[in-house]
Structures are given as C-alpha cells and as structure tokens.
Amino acid sequence: MQKMMVLSFILAFLLTFCLAAAQVIQPVGFAGYAPLEITNKPVQDKIEPREWAEFEIQVKSNQRKSDTIMLSIQEEGVEFSSITKPTSDLASGIPMAPGEIKTTKYLLKPSPSLLTDPYKPHNIALHARMQESGVTASTILQVTLLPEGWRAAQFVDANISIMAPEFIDPRNVYSFKLSIQNNNKRDLGVLRVVLRSALFDEDAEITIGSLEGKTVDFPIRFAENQQPRKDQWTVEISGKDGMLYRKTMQYEIVSYRIPFSMEEKMEKRFLKNIRHIIVTNNENVAEQQWVKVPVSTLERLLSKTAPSAQIEVIGNEPQFVWELLLNPGESKESTITTSYRTPLLILLIIAVLAYVAYMMKDPLVILKESQDIKTFEGGIVELKVGLTIKNRTNREYHAVEVVDKIPSIATYKKGAEIGEMRPSKVVQRKDGIILKWNIGKMESYEERILAYSVKSKLGILGDFRMPRAIVTCKDEKGTKITVKSNQMDVSSAEFEEEKKEE
C-alpha cells in the first residue's frame, strides 16, 4: 500500500511536470519550428537623401490557428518614414492562416537631418507581432545612406589621351601632353595631374567642368650629359574623390641624335605635282623625330598629304609636319600631291556659263519710255514716246525693222520734230494705229533713237498702258531674230504728283 502511494505520487509529479513543460514549450515552437518567422531580402539598400530604401519581407506562421501580423520598426535613435506595398499590410496587418507564407514590400525613407555615411549602414529592427497570441519575431534592415551625388562621383566618364616621346635626346626639350575630355555632365572640379619618373617629377592642377576638355603640357628638360638608359614614367590624375587615372609607360634616353636624312623627288603630271619625301634613319638606334617640309600658301590650299600631316606656320611660312618613328636604317616615304585641276575646272565652268549666258542674250535690245507728257484738267492729252534700239554685239544685222502700236484710245500726231526719223508706214486699224520704221542695217554696237508723239481728244485719266514695240532683223546667215521691248505704263495721277513736287 505504501509502495502504491509512492508510485502514484511519482506519476502525479511527472504528469504535472509534463503539463507545465507543454505550457512553456508551446509558445516557442511547434514540431521543431518557431511559431513566427520573418526574413528580409534587400531590393535597394543603398540610397541618397530623398530616396526610398526597399526590402522584400517574408513572414511565415507556424501557429495552429489564424492570426494577424502587425509590422513596426525600431531605429537606432534616428527616424525613418515607412510604408508597405500594399499599404494595408502596414495599416491593418497581414492576415495569416496556419502554416501560411506571405511576402510584402517594406520601404524606408530617411529624415533630412539624418547623417550620411557610405561605409556604415543604419541597422533598423523590423518587428513582426501576432495580434492575438502576442508572439513576436524580428529581422534587421541595413540601410546605407549615401551623401547626395555620391553615385555620380563614383562614375567618371572621361577620355584621356597621352602624347609623349618614346626616344629622347637629352639635349632637347620634350613636351609631354595629357588631354582630358569630360564626357559627363557632372563637373570634375579641380584635378591634380602628376608626371614622374626617376629623372623628373612634375605636377599641375586643372579645373574641368561639365563636358569640358583641357590639355596639360609638361615641357621636360634633361641634363645634357645624361647617359643613355631605359626608364619609365607614370602619370596620375586624382580629384576630390581619389585616384581617377594611372598609367605607366616606357621611354629611352638615346645617344645624341643625328637628324633623319631627307631626299625629295618631284613627279609632274598634267596640272598636278607629286613630291615624294623619303626620310631615312641613319643611326644605329630607333629614333622618333619631326620632319618639316616648307610649302607655299597656294600649295597648302591645293595639296593633300599621305600620311596626313600637321600644318605649322613658322615665320609666315607654312610647313607640312610629320612625326616619324624609324628603326635603325629604316626609310619611310611621305607624299605631297598638289593638284591645279579642280580650281582650273571651276574657272572653266564659270567661263562656259558666262559664254552661254552671253550667247543666249538678245543681240538687240529696245527700250520704250514716255517723254514730254502734257495734261489738261488732270488728264493726259499728249505725250511723246521714245524708242532706243541698241546693237550690243560686235556683229552687223540687216533688214532691221521696228513696229509699234498706239491703242485706239489715242491717235498719232503727225509732224515730228526736226532730227527724228519718221515712220516708214502708218496704218490705221480698228484696234489702234500701227507704226513701222525700216532702219535697214545696224553696225556693231550702234544705237538708234526713234520718237513719235501721241495725242488724245479727251484727257486720259488714271493708268495708260502702251503695248510692247517689236524689232526684227537678220544676222549674216539670214536667221531672223525678233526682240520685244518693255511695256510702257503712264499714270496721270503720278504725273500730277510730280508736277506738284516740282
């Protein structure tokens, strides 16, 4: 009986212990899992001021019953604005069924007063809490707040080219040139350019703005007694954000330089000259030298070179210049081709066009104009018509006739003034009066003047138009030529205005 009581006591103790353990273990997990799991995956965790950081948040419920997850953040003494996509996940919570997994987007925006540091992220604790059971879980969101413009500062889009000799005669001064072209709209600001080797150390500062390009020229002088040697030089370009460019190149101090020998041959063709410039390196080491060939200003304008040459003007004299690198005993040929064909062709075309224009113009010209206008009570009652005929060629023309017409509104006044050639024929028609003059022959460049008077019984008011006069003639081949004059317009109103002004 005593043993049974002891055994019952032990069983009761074990049962009580198991029940208590079950109460403690239940909130911790079910089937080996936490009742609530939360993880994050950065979508955009490096931001500049006024930008939003974004994380993909995944939550999983391991509870046996449905519940709602509420999200909240706790910062390290700083402030962030936060939203979710969809916004209801933050405002109303995320409803979860047992064993369900859901994903939401969590966005964070820093306050304007928050300090920036591209190397130290802000650790933000994102808490998830089951609304009914009170179970919680957390994950850390790491947000790196970059200074404004920091990304652009890391991207430098620039073309850098270097012009420097490979072989150096220590008696000469050499130019080491670095050209920097900024292809970015962001200013590069002040850049420090350093050029150094075992024999020289130079530096300069330049300021390069948006889309700007500049060239730095380092004139380098060596000791004249410098012994031949091989060396290397390094160029470094740095700005406020650190090193932007670095390059090392080889060069060689050679023995005293012997100028390249130069031989010239001239090849003449029709309206074209080709100068062959043959340059030879007579030293036993490789050499890099400038070769200069003087030319006239006309040759400079009409010439092309192969290979392409630079142009320098020394003492008002243009020169074609090549920079050549020749190995020992090597020769290279450059050509200067001067062609006079194109300008001559242009002159010929101009001459042909001028000749065609000259040949196409009328050999005779006739000008018709009004003279000695008389008016009565504002209307034109009489005027004199002048016809000027001119042969503007050096050839003679025969059978020259002039025909003019007076409209029916007026009539021909007989009795021309002394010295005027009277019409050979006057024909009265319904639509007007026809006047005809037989001039006969006109010598080269000869000029004839004809005149006749027109009168009207009633004054002509307003505008009065006389038709065109016609000249016909024949050239030495018997070809008939017809030329018309201008139309003559007379206005009584304009004539009255002129009289008032006088």
Cα separation of 170 and 247, whole Å?
A: 23
Residue 440's identity, in one-letter code, is G
Measured distance CA(247)–CA(234) in Å, rounded: 6
Same domain assignment for residues 327 and 422? no
75 in a structural domain: yes
End-to-end CA distance of the chain: 162
- Please report the pLDDT score of residue 48 as a whole number: 87
Of 39 and 477, the one with more pLDDT? 39
Q: What pLDDT sits at residue 154?
A: 61
Last residue of a domain, one of 341, 376, 395: 341
Q: How confident is the model at residue 476 (pLDDT cuts 50, 70, 90)?
A: confident
What's the pLDDT score for residue 360?
66
Greater confidence (260 vs 101) lies with: 101
15 versus 438: the higher-pLDDT residue is 438
445-456 average pLDDT score: 89
Most confident of 7-11, 54-58, 193-197: 54-58
Which tens digits make up the pLDDT trace of 352-364? 887 777 666 778 8
**pLDDT of residue 438 exceeding 90:** yes
| Same domain, yes or no: 141 and 185 | no
Higher-confidence position of 191 and 12: 191
Cβ(485)–Cβ(368) under 8 Å? yes
Q: Is the pLDDT of residue 16 over 70?
A: no
- Are 67 and 179 in the same domain? no
Residues 280 and 388 in one domain: no
Rounded to an integer, the average pLDDT of 430-439 is 91
Q: Which of helix, strand or coil describes residue 28?
A: helix
Per residue, the 3-state secondary structure of 120-180, as one string, reads: CCEEEEEEEEECCCCCEEEEEEEEEECCCCHHHHHCCCEEEEEECCCEECCCCEEEEEEEE
Residue 397 and residue 496 in one domain: yes
Q: Which residue has the higher pLDDT, 183 or 11?
A: 183
Q: For residue 370, tell me if it sits in a domain.
A: yes
Q: Please write the tens of the pLDDT for every residue from 57-113.
A: 999 999 989 999 999 987 544 578 889 999 999 989 999 999 999 999 999 999 888
Evaluate whether residue 492 is within a structural domain. yes
- Flag whether pLDDT at 125 surpasses 60: yes
pLDDT of residue 372: 82
370 or 287: which leads in pLDDT: 370
The mean of the pLDDT values for the chain is 84
Which is more confident, 1 or 212?
Answer: 212
170 and 233 fall within a common domain: yes
- 374 and 469 fall within a common domain: yes
Which sign, positive or negative, has the C-alpha torsion 220, 221, 226, 227? positive
Is 27 within the bounds of a domain?
Answer: no
Question: How high is the pLDDT of residue 22?
Answer: 43
Residue identified by tokens 């009580």 is 16
pLDDT of 29 > 50? The answer is no
Q: What is the CATH number of the domain that holds 109?
A: 2.60.40.10
Helices (H) and strands (E) in the chain, counts: 6, 35
Residue 356 lies in a domain: no
Same domain, 444 and 466: yes
- Higher pLDDT among residues 92 and 17, named by residue: 92
Per-residue confidence at 37, pLDDT binned at 50, 70, 90?
Answer: very high
pLDDT of residue 498: 58
Cα–Cα distance measured from residue 78 to residue 70, given in angstroms and rounded to the nearest whole number:
21
Residues 423 and 483 grouped into a single domain: yes
* End position of a domain, from candidates 103, 122, 148: 148
**Is there a single domain that holds both residue 179 and residue 133?**
no
pLDDT of residue 469: 93
Return the percentage of the chain with pLDDT > 70, whole number.
Answer: 86
Q: What is the model's pLDDT at position 21?
A: 47
- pLDDT for 326-369, tens place per residue? 888 899 999 999 988 888 889 889 988 877 776 667 788 999 99
Residues 61 and 128 in one domain: yes
**Domain limit, last residue, from 341, 375, 397:** 341
Q: Cβ neighbours of residue 322 under 8 Å, at least 6 residues apart?
A: 279, 290, 291, 307, 309, 310, 334
Is residue 288 one of the residues assigned to a domain?
yes
Model confidence band, residue 497 (pLDDT cutoffs 50, 70, 90)? low
In a 3-state reduction of DSSP, which class is residue 259? coil
Model confidence pLDDT, tens digit, residues 282-307 = 876 677 888 889 998 888 888 899 99
Q: What domain range is 311 assigned to?
A: 275-341
Q: How confident is the model at residue 494 (pLDDT cuts 50, 70, 90)?
A: low
Task: Give the H/E segment covering residue 200.
Answer: none
pLDDT at 155 over 70: no
One domain, residues 367 and 495:
yes
281 domain-assigned: yes
Answer whether residue 183 shows pLDDT above 80: yes
What is the C-alpha separation between 200 and 226, in angstroms, rounded? 12
Tell me the average pLDDT across 33-60. Answer: 91
Per residue in 128-154, pLDDT (tens digit) is 999 999 999 999 999 998 887 666 656
Would residue 8 count as lying in a domain? Answer: no
- Structural domain count, the chain: 4
